[in-house]
Amino acid sequence: MVPPFSPILNRLLASLAGEDVSFSRMSDLIEKDTVLAGNLLHLVNSALYGRRGTVNSVRHAVSLLGIEKLRNAMLGMSVSRMWNKMRTPPSWSSAEFNLHSAATAVLSDLLAQRLPVLYAEGAFVAGLLHDVGRLIIAISLPAEYDRIRRLRQEGGRSRLECEEAVLGFTHPELSAEVVARWNLPGPIQTAVRYHHRVDLDHSARKPGEIPLSHVLDAADQFVNTIQFAGPADEGTLLDSALAESLELEATGVVLEEFHREFESMKPFFRG
């Protein structure tokens, strides 16, 4: 169902599961992948980082980004490239899916950096993989996927309701199962599973701590609202209670940073 992982993607996923990843090992893996190496250098030399001199070395680029930014960028590029190799039905838009996933990942990460979020380090990956269940449905069950699309176009029902009616399960549930198969940490699995039903997420947390699913839901809704992924779903305006819990009224700076970062990364996520 999913193509074999590349060596670098295996290593990146292992790092999320708690294994140490050294800069030298990451540099070695990236240097062996000419496409990723070229994309990395292009990103580091983009307007996002505003460097005066040109960075020509993968090892220099790796040291400039730092392990977290590097991991996010390489995960995003690797996963997007893997998705693009999969055979999807004519009604599926790889570009729309990749851009939506990337935008949600970037915004989730920026929000998590500034809020008391449970397992904030998993925000980017949760955003990147939150809709993988939709892709799996489109690939494995193309006829059912088209039935879900037609039901939604008829109006009156949400995507989840249409999936329940046709399949008996929803894409967040399937996304969570895929993430679990990849042995990613429990908080990422939980966030992906409940990103459309945050009221069901009862993750154990400290007083005042925000579940990762809440941040993921807010980022997903915002990205839909501004139509990075095509026509926005009905009802995707941020719920006032959710916005208040995330203090979104004070995130103007975050959104400015989001636009800068996403614009720099966008070329790498087109279908």
Domain boundary among 19, 51, 85: 85
For 25, phi then psi, to 5°, come to -65, -40
Q: SS3 for 117?
A: strand
Indicate the pTM of the whole model: 0.84
Rg (CA), the chain: 18
In the chain, what is the straight-line distance between the N-terminal and C-terminal CA atoms, in Å?
19
C-beta separation of 105 from 249 below 8 A? no
> What percentage of the chain's residues is helix, strand, coil (to nearest 5)?
65, 0, 30
Together in a domain, 65 and 199: no
For 26, phi then psi, to 5°, come to -65, -40
Q: Note the pLDDT tens digit of each residue in 200-221.
A: 888 867 787 889 999 999 889 8
Together in a domain, 123 and 30: no
pLDDT higher than threshold 50 for residue 174: yes
pLDDT higher than threshold 50 for residue 122: yes
Q: Note the pLDDT tens digit of each residue in 5-60.
A: 677 777 776 666 655 666 777 788 888 888 888 888 888 887 777 667 788 888 88
Together in a domain, 63 and 148: no
The residue-averaged pLDDT of 61-67 equals 81
Together in a domain, 260 and 208: yes
* pLDDT for the residue 2: 62
Domain with 59, as residue range(s), is 1-85
Please state whether 18 falls in left (phi above 0), alpha (psi between -120 and 50) or beta: left
